[in-house]
Structure 1
Amino acid sequence: MHRPVLDGIEAASSGTRSKTSHVISRLLTLRGLALLHDGLMGAAALLLSFALRLDITGFSANVWSFVAAAALFGCVVSTTGFFLGLNRGIWRYASLSDFLAIAGVATASIAIFSVLEFLVNRLNSIPRSSILIAWAFTIVLLAGPRAVYRAYRNQHDVRRGKVAKGSAKNVLLIGATDNAEAFIRTNNERQRASFQVLAILDERGRRTGRAIRGVPVVGPLEKLPQILERFEARGRRVESIILTRSRDEYQQYAKLEELVDVAAQHKIELLTLPNMLDMKSIDAEIELRPIKLEDLLQRAPVGSDTQKIAAMIGGLNVMITGAGGSIGSELARQVADLAPLNLVLVDANEYALYCIKSELSQKHPASRIHAVLCNVREREAISSVVEAHAPNLIFHAAALKHVPMVEAQPIEGIFTNVIGTRNVADAALRWNVSKMIMVSTDKAVNPANVMGATKRMAEMYCQAMDLAQATLSTRFMTVRFGNVLGSAGSVVPLFEQQIKAGGPLTVTHPEIVRFFMTIPEACMLVLQAAAAHEPDIIHERGRIFVLDMGSPVKIADLAKNLIRLSGRRPDVDIQIAYTGLRPGEKLYEELFDCNEKLSETGSPGILAASARSIERAVIERIFDEMQRMIDDLNVEGALRLLQSTVPEFTPGSEIQATMSSARSLRQ
């Protein structure tokens, strides 16, 4: 190796050693000074106790013996503080825990000193009552300098940060909580405060007129508009409102919609605070999160049996079809967290599959995650995948679900949703998969579009397989739920794009309603349904598990809330335009058919429907015929067979026109 290179390495090594030794030297110096301080304060405390206990004559007559006792006590305090770690504390951040440690050191030191004095001269050389006085003085003299230093540093940081004060955001806190106190304390102790907390509002008004760390609690939530106007009149406009409670707590004390409305009217951003008590460092960045649409659903979170789910997944091979989609990818995330033996991700979309595989591989580098590019339409291909990876569980989430698109191309929807489901189910049965769970939709109930009808037909196939296999090992389960916020094809991303463009937001009908759930909630309940129900009793097979979606939400209200969350006002800053129902669209969706028999499952958030089923031999003949229709591109025949299999399906005008057009072409 060249000499210049060696010289450089040696210089760098020498610099590192020098820096390390400097840090160690500084640390030892600071800890040594802290020990010296504690010893001197201990000695001073005992001398003060003697002076307070005795008159001048009595004190001066035994001054040297008192000085010797004080020196001994100072050594005891310093040594005790060393062993109890008192000198390791950082004075700048001295707090209640340090005060408790000081009280412990003072108590232990007094006890040790009393024993030593008793062994030496039976406590005859000092007034015995002075020991108790010395204990109090020790606490005061050890804690006082620390408190003074902390106050000085805080004031010093405020003076240094005055340049940044002008750039600090003026904020209001909602909620006189422990989290609010921690936020104010952390913000004040930073060298450059990011926020200027003007006031706190208490939702229940019980702490109005009081203060938290000097910040006044100015009133209840009802007075928020007046308080905002008052600060603006003083030239201190509020830029952000920060919620200090969790979403679930706000359901008890406040209506988030009202807060969002007030914030939108005053063009103020509405943010939520993380749990400040979980922050590891004062200098860590405080990550405030904007209020999201799911926060406004006002749904109580559904509990889940995580132990049962983990027992179902842990150490087994799990396969997910449609793993690149919204539901499939979230299922993959939640399954990967539960340590499966192998996780097989199947999708026909190369880029979507690559994305979810990369994400999970980075998060779980030790896990065995396989990405398989395969279309569920390909019967032999999907069978080969199941044979090669031998999954114990299959979650079938692959589907075409965009209603107008499937309405315009019904053969594509039937091929993927109907035939694709049969291919996966047959492969599961052929290769002895323990359980297959199909993800369905509320659009399968009294379907008014091809997408819903195809999903109902897929449900019927899984029902027939489950009922026919009562004595065999493979279970076929169906889980049905409504819309999920933020999924591919959801109305929410469209609304967000329209808001960015300045509007208008397009809603099909002012009275249209839908059930909504967040993607993680829906996927957790799918796992819950799969884990909690493994009956082998014949009358419990073939049931469809339905997720409790809460109350339906008006799409128009959804649009208004999204506008408010963007800091603008509905029908003032951004308009809402009603465009009319799209082909195959209903005003409302249903989770159950009126003819379906409902039953409790014992799991919160999950119900069971005993829907009409068809014998396996019959449904297999129907599916064989459907496959022939698809192979012949016989759109009319496929739609007629779909309608006869799902008699509650009421085709829209576009599908009727498609059938008529196909009939004319064939003639």
Structure 2
Amino acid sequence: MAAVSLPLAIWLRFWIVDIEWSPLEAWLPTLIFAGVAGVVFQYTGLYRGIWHFASLRDMLAILRGSLLSLLIFLPLLFVFTRLADYPRSALVMQFFILMLLLAGPRILYRSWKDGSLATVLWRGDDKRVPVVLIGSSLAADTFIREMERGPASYRVVGIIDDSAGRHGRDMRGIRVLGRLADLPAIVNNMREIDRPRRAIIADDRLDGRVIRELVETASQFGISVARLPRMTEFRKESEAGQVQSIDVEDLLGRPQRVLDRSAVTQLIAGRRVLVTGAGGTIGSELVRQVAALQPAAIVLFEQSEHALYQIDMELAERMPELPRVAVLGDVRDADAVETVFAAQRPDIVLHAAAYKHVPLVEANAGEGLLTNVRGTHVVAQACQRHNVAVMVMISTDKAVNPTNVMGATKRIAEMVCQSLDLERVTSQRNSTQYVTVRFGNVLGSSGSVVPLFQRQLASGGPLTVTHPDVTRFFMTTREAVELILQAAAMPNDVVHAEGKIFVLDMGEPVRIQDLARQMIRLTGRQPDKDVKIVFTGLRPGEKLYEEVLHSAETTMPTPQEGVMLAAPRIIDRAELERAIATLIHHAERRDTAAVVAGIAALVPEFEHAPNGQGSSSETAAPVNRPAA
């Protein structure tokens, strides 16, 4: 290219003024410049670049090489020719011609290999799906670049961004068309060939409310909504072009709370941690988050062989260096629990094992009591005997004004831990701190309505909802577990939590009917038109509204946003032990009526509603109940 640039520049200069000139007249300068450029280009590393990956760095190398070559060539040309018969302007023209000859082929080659050149040449025959990106973030830039490389499924026709300063500007040649609120007008003003068939979220900061509004608006135009992987979710750049479906967590997600991660790390790091129910939804997420905090060892205690195998294999693959023990056992078995505690000597116990399916526990009241009450009692007593530093018991909002056996048994489990924690303050015999954490439904858990709706949608519907007005509190598994660990890590002398219960802020309750409609829209279909919603009636023990606080419970804030302290009714320890022993006796004899009666005696607020009716949830206005 260097050998061509000088004769071409001189010829172009003479051609402009209509003077005949032959390139042979410049053989000596051409030879000199070719030699100089060859040495300079080798020195500056210009030949080392791979054309397929030509970048701005390569363009700068071409600029440096061209400029340095001319600066060395000019003195040499003066020595040999005194610049006679060579127009000075041709030398300036040569610089730009040389830049064009060196950079042009590289840019064209990369454009061809990446597919962007083909996109321009055959735009009218483009079979890719037109999409709009929501957010002009780094992820959006990466996605556009990926779509310009080789075969791609999507063609970006515009960007939607709420940042007013970016409206009308371009990102890699793609125009920022306006705000999210302008989406209907933007779509209507587009040509038919450019109308998006999908909206792809490229901004991690969008909260659940904004995403819900986007899904509803987009569905009116037949536009499906998806999202790019979050920056923390992909490990290589090519994964940035992999579009993911919007899930329920995205719809209900809330802004990330600021957490005191140093306190949680200090609680877990270097300690032996035992997790009961380690294979369940909450238990397995506890295991994942605890494993990342560098514990000395982690003990997985689980009744289900399959669930235990799954979480054990996951840990083996993700953290093979972490010492772990997988124990197949039942928390109701006092001998098995004692054996594990004696052998493993845990410092921290996270008790997530429980029966949580309301209708199943309602139909099997004795079994529910044995697991939820006796199991908690067995684990709590073992913690006391073996001087465990902290035991965390996972409770539920169904323990507040319970109308079903499951909720009532979890309230008794709360009372067990409360009484033992108070004993720690009044007696020197117990050094274990008992932490009880109460929250609502976890998205995607085995007992959640979300997997049910997903199965029903996969089979074409209809979606079944028990009642038009039924609402629930929801929280993502990750957020729930983070706050559980945060509550456990709070210094007791700061929050004075003796005998109290940590209550997680669940946000606003969600109407299940609205959740069903949102999930239908996520599939690109319309509720009531494409997929029906059928109301089946409340199930045994089911309430219309869940509550996270009893009307008599006093609450106080904690240093951690999203976590409150509640002080429920306390029962005498000796009285509680006698009542539990009687309940276990009735449960072992399969005397369901006696079990339910005993629960009602121990939990005065328990109003059993075996047919799904309960005065506390339908006729009264409970604490935290949404306005009608």
Q: Confirm whether residue 613 of structure 1 aligns to residue 570 of structure 2.
A: yes
Secondary structure in 1 aligned to 2:530?
A: coil
CA distance in 2, matches of 1:356, 1:618: 39
Aligned to 2:616: none
Contact (CA 8 Å) 1:182, 1:277: kept in 2 or not?
no
Point out where structure 1 has 5 or more consecutive residues left out of the alignment: 1-36, 57-62, 657-667
Secondary structure in 1 aligned to 2:225?
A: strand
Aligned to 1:590: 547
Q: Confirm whether residue 483 of structure 1 aligns to residue 441 of structure 2.
A: yes
CA distance in 2, matches of 1:623, 1:250: 45
Question: How far apart are residue 66 of structure 1 and its match?
Answer: 7.6
Aligned to 1:461: 416
CA distance in 2, matches of 1:586, 1:186: 49
Alignment map for 1:343-354 (pairs within 5 Å): 343-354=298-309
TM-aligned CA distance change 1:145 to 1:335, over 3 Å:
same
Question: How far apart are residue 206 of structure 1 and its match?
Answer: 5.8
TM-aligned CA distance change 1:150 to 1:393, over 3 Å:
same
Determine which structure has the larger helix proportion and give its number. Answer: 1
Contact (CA 8 Å) 1:600, 1:608: kept in 2 or not?
yes
Alignment map for 1:15-54 (pairs within 5 Å): none
Contact (CA 8 Å) 1:46, 1:73: kept in 2 or not?
no
Secondary structure in 2 aligned to 1:301?
A: coil
Aligned to 1:92: 52
Q: Confirm whether residue 199 of structure 1 aligns to residue 158 of structure 2.
A: yes
Secondary structure in 2 aligned to 1:242?
A: strand
CA distance in 1, matches of 2:196, 2:308: 45
Tell me how many residue pairs correspond in the alignment: 600
TM-aligned CA distance change 1:147 to 1:530, over 3 Å:
same
Contact (CA 8 Å) 1:514, 1:554: kept in 2 or not?
yes
Q: Confirm whether residue 395 of structure 1 aligns to residue 350 of structure 2.
A: yes
Alignment map for 1:285-364 (pairs within 5 Å): 286-364=241-319
Contact (CA 8 Å) 2:136, 2:203: kept in 1 or not?
no
CA distance in 1, matches of 2:69, 2:523: 61
CA distance in 2, matches of 1:363, 1:135: 56
CA distance in 2, matches of 1:629, 1:542: 28
Secondary structure in 2 aligned to 1:618?
A: helix
Question: How far apart are residue 304 of structure 1 and its match?
Answer: 2.2
| 2:146 counterpart (186, 192, 213) | 186
Question: How far apart are residue 168 of structure 1 and its match?
Answer: 2.4
Q: Confirm whether residue 270 of structure 1 aligns to residue 225 of structure 2.
A: yes
Aligned to 2:211: 256
Counting aligned pairs with the same residue, the percent is: 43
CA distance in 1, matches of 2:495, 2:213: 50
Aligned to 1:3: none
Aligned-partner residue type, residue 242 of structure 1: I
TM-aligned CA distance change 1:544 to 1:250, over 3 Å:
closer
Q: Confirm whether residue 504 of structure 1 aligns to residue 504 of structure 2.
A: no
Question: How far apart are residue 356 of structure 1 and its match?
Answer: 1.5
Aligned to 1:21: none
Aligned to 1:647: 604
Alignment map for 1:535-554 (pairs within 5 Å): 535=492, 539-554=496-511
CA distance in 1, matches of 2:157, 2:282: 43
TM-aligned CA distance change 1:108 to 1:297, over 3 Å:
farther
Instruction: Single out whichever of 315-324 and 271-280 deviates more from structure 2.
Output: 271-280
Alignment map for 1:89-168 (pairs within 5 Å): 89-102=49-62, 143=103, 145-151=105-111, 153=113, 158=118, 167-168=127-128
Question: How far apart are residue 619 of structure 1 and its match?
Answer: 2.2
Contact (CA 8 Å) 1:183, 1:276: kept in 2 or not?
no
Question: How far apart are residue 637 of structure 1 and its match?
Answer: 2.9
For normalisation by structure 1, the TM-score amounts to 0.78
Contact (CA 8 Å) 1:265, 1:568: kept in 2 or not?
no
CA distance in 2, matches of 1:42, 1:338: 62
Contact (CA 8 Å) 1:200, 1:215: kept in 2 or not?
yes
Q: Confirm whether residue 243 of structure 1 aligns to residue 206 of structure 2.
A: no
CA distance in 1, matches of 2:569, 2:253: 34
Contact (CA 8 Å) 1:444, 1:454: kept in 2 or not?
yes
TM-aligned CA distance change 1:41 to 1:428, over 3 Å:
farther
Show CA shifts across 1:293-312 (max 9, x none).
12111522223223332332
Aligned-partner residue type, residue 480 of structure 1: R
CA distance in 1, matches of 2:152, 2:464: 42
Show CA shifts across 1:520-573 (max 9, x none).
111121112112x13258953122111111111111111111111121111111
TM-aligned CA distance change 1:308 to 1:77, over 3 Å:
farther
CA distance in 1, matches of 2:572, 2:344: 30
Aligned-partner residue type, residue 633 of structure 1: R
Aligned-partner residue type, residue 547 of structure 1: L
Alignment map for 1:433-452 (pairs within 5 Å): 433-452=388-407
Aligned-partner residue type, residue 454 of structure 1: T
Question: How far apart are residue 406 of structure 1 and its match?
Answer: 1.1
Contact (CA 8 Å) 2:297, 2:324: kept in 1 or not?
yes
| 2:514 counterpart (545, 557, 560) | 557
Instruction: Single out whichever of 517-526 and 221-230 deviates more from structure 2.
Output: 221-230
For normalisation by structure 2, the TM-score amounts to 0.83
TM-aligned CA distance change 1:135 to 1:467, over 3 Å:
farther
CA distance in 2, matches of 1:381, 1:108: 80
Aligned to 1:411: 366
What is the RMSD of the two structures over their aligned residues, measured on CA atoms?
A: 4.2
